[in-house]
Amino acid sequence: MKNNQSCLNIVSAFKNKEASPTESVKNYLAEIDAQRELNAFNFVFSEAALHSAEAVERKIEKGTAGKLAGLVVAIKDVLSIEGKPLTCSSKILENFIPLYTATAVQKLIDEDAIIIGKTNCDEFAMGSSNENSAFGSVLNPVDHTRAPGGSSGGSAVAVAASLCDFSIGTDTGGSIRQPAAFCGVYGLKPTYSLVSRFGLTAFASSFDSIGPFGKYIDDVALALEVLAGHDPKDSTSFMSQPADYVNDLSARGEKLVIGIPDEYFSSGLQPEIKTEIEDVVSRLANAGYEIRCIKLPHTDYAIAAYYILTTAEASSNLARYDGVRFGYRGQDSRTVADMYKNTRSEGFGTEVKRRIMLGTYVLSSGYYDAYYKKAQKVRRLIKQDFEKAFGEVDIIITPTSPTTAFKLGEKTTDPLEMYLSDIFTISTNLAGIPGLNIPIGSDNQGLPIGMQLLASHFCESKLLQLGKFIEKNIL
C-alpha cells in the first residue's frame, strides 16, 4: 500500500481506528526494503519503530496521544538520537553512538511521531547531490540515473518514494529546498533560529536550519508547528512563541503582494523551469495577486560570500573530529600530530577536506580582513536587499534550482559547477529568511521542477498560505 493521505488525515484515521500505526510501520518497512537500491537510509530502526507504534497505540486508546500520533518519520543522519548511530555519512564518525537526543527530534517524539530511521546525506551536509557520502550515493526515485539533490537527499527521497509520512532535513545553503525540487516534494527551510539547533551536528552554525519535507503543504505546516519554538539549550534560538501554522493555513488573509527578482531569471536557468514558473505567476495574477518586479542587486556576490563564511565556520566546527575522544582514529600514528593527520586524512571525504582547507585559509592571519570580514559585509548587504524587497512585497518567487535533477557523476569532478547548483537558495541562508520549495510540474524528461517562495523573517505562515493556495487552486 502506498500511503497518499496527508499527515493530518493519517493521524485522524489512527485516532478513529480506521488504520493502525503498527500496520503503517510494517508497510513502510516493507517499502524501504523493496526500494533498498535508492540507498535513502543509513540506518533503519525496525524493532524500535514497531515498539514505538505499539506504545502510541496504547496512548491513542487512552486518548493521550500527541499531534503526530503514529506518523512515521525519517531523520537526516546529522541529528543526534540517544543510543542510535550518528554518522553524518562520514567515516570519521563510524561507531559513534550519541548520549543525547536533539531538541528537534525530541519534540517529534514527544508528539508521538515514530522514528523509522536515519537518512543518507552528503558528508556533514556538504554537497548538492548526495554523492559525498560514506554510504554511497542516493538515487533519485524519478530516474535512478540522476541525483536526488543534496545534502538532504535521503530525506527528500524518503518522502518522494513513500518510505515515510514526512522527513526532517537540514538546510545550510539549500540542502532542503534543492533536493525537494529534484525529487518533487515540498521542503521548508524555516527562518534561522526558529527551530533549535541543539543536537544538529554543525556545518556552519550561523546558517544551519532544520526543516521538514512533505508530500503536502499541510504536512510541512504540521511538522513546523511541532519543530518551532525557543529552546533554552540553544542561545541563538528565537525567544517568542511561534505561530499556529496549521490553523493559519485555513485562515484567509488579505491578498499577498508577490515580487519577482530579475536576478533569479538569468541566462543559466533551464528554459522549462522559467516557463513553468511564469505560468504559475500569471495564474496567480489572474487570481488577483499583485505581481511586482523587484531588485536584489547583491545576488551576484552571494556564492562567494557563502563559501567563505560557511567554510570558515565549518573549519572550526569540524576541528573536534580529531580521533582523541570518539569516532574514527587513524592507525599507526607515532605522535599526536601524526594521529590528527592520519585521522582527518583518512576519516574525512574529499569535499569536506576541501572546505576545511578553504575555511582555514580565509580565517588565517593576513587574509581575515580580505575574505571573512568582507564576506560578512556582503552578508549584511544581501540581508538589506531582502529587507528592502520585503518592504514592498510579502513573498518573493524564484526558481529553486537552475536545472532539474542532473545525472549522477555529472558534476563530481567540478566543484565550482556543483556549487552553482545552489545559486538560488544560498542568499536565503545568508539573510536567515525562510524558503519553501513547491513542486510545480516536470520538464520534458519527466523530471520534477521546483519553485521557491521566500518570505521575511518569521513569516512562515505567509509562505504556507500562498503555498496552500497554489497547491489547491493553481496546480
Partner 1 sequence: MTVKYEAVIGLEVHAQLQTNTKIFCSCSTKFAAEPNTNVCPICLGHPGVLPKLNEKVVEFAIKMGLATNCSIREYSVSARKNYFYPDMPKGYQISQYDKPICENGYLIVHPKNGKEKKIRITRIHIEEDAGKSIHDQGDHTLIDINRSGVPLIEIVTEPDIETAEEAGLYLAKIKQIVQYLEICDGNMEEGSLRCDANISIRPVGEQKLGTRSEIKNMNSFRNVERAINYEIKRQQELLEDGGKVVQETLLWDADANQAHPMRGKEEAHDYRYFPEPDLVPIVVLDEMILEIRKQLPELPEAIKNRFILQFNLPEYDADTLTQSKDVALYFESVAKLVRDPKLASNWVMVEVLRILNEKKCKLLDFSVKPTDLAELIGLIEHNIISGKIAREVFAIMIEDNKKPGQIVREQNLTQITDEGMLKDLISSLIQKFPGEVQQYRDGKDKVFGFFVGQVMKESKGKANPRAVNNLLKDLLK
Q: Summarize as ranges the residues that interact with partner 1 (CB under 8 A).
A: 78-80, 86, 88, 93, 96, 98-100, 102, 197-202, 204-206, 232-236, 312-313, 315-316, 318-320, 322, 324-326, 336-337, 340, 360, 363-365, 368, 372
> Which one of 128, 175, 196, 461 is the catalytic residue?
175
CB of 78 vs partner 1, minimal distance in Å? 8
> Which one of 67, 76, 215, 462 is the catalytic residue?
76
H-helix or E-strand spanning residue 280: helix 271-286
H-helix or E-strand spanning residue 293: strand 290-294
20 is catalytic: no
| CA 198 to the chain's CA centroid | 16
CB of 58 vs partner 1, minimal distance in Å? 31
For partner 1, the closer of residues 14 and 192 by Cβ is: 192
Sign of CA dihedral 156, 158, 162, 165: negative
Closest by alpha carbon to 177, among 350, 352, 427?
427
CA distances from 398 to 72, 205, 232, 425, 428 (A): 31, 25, 35, 9, 11
What is the Cα–Cα distance from 431 to 207, expressed in whole angstroms? 9
> Which one of 151, 152, 155, 193 is the catalytic residue?
151
175 is catalytic: yes
| Residues shown for the chain | 475
For partner 1, the closer of residues 41 and 372 by Cβ is: 372
For partner 1, the closer of residues 265 and 367 by Cβ is: 367
What is the Cα–Cα distance from 208 to 189, expressed in whole angstroms? 9
377 is catalytic: no
CA distances from 70 to 166, 175, 434 (A): 12, 27, 28
Cell of 368: 581575515
For partner 1, the closer of residues 32 and 356 by Cβ is: 356
For partner 1, the closer of residues 109 and 281 by Cβ is: 109
CB of 202 vs partner 1, minimal distance in Å? 7
CB of 235 vs partner 1, minimal distance in Å? 5
CB of 339 vs partner 1, minimal distance in Å? 9
Catalogue the active-site residues: 76, 151, 175
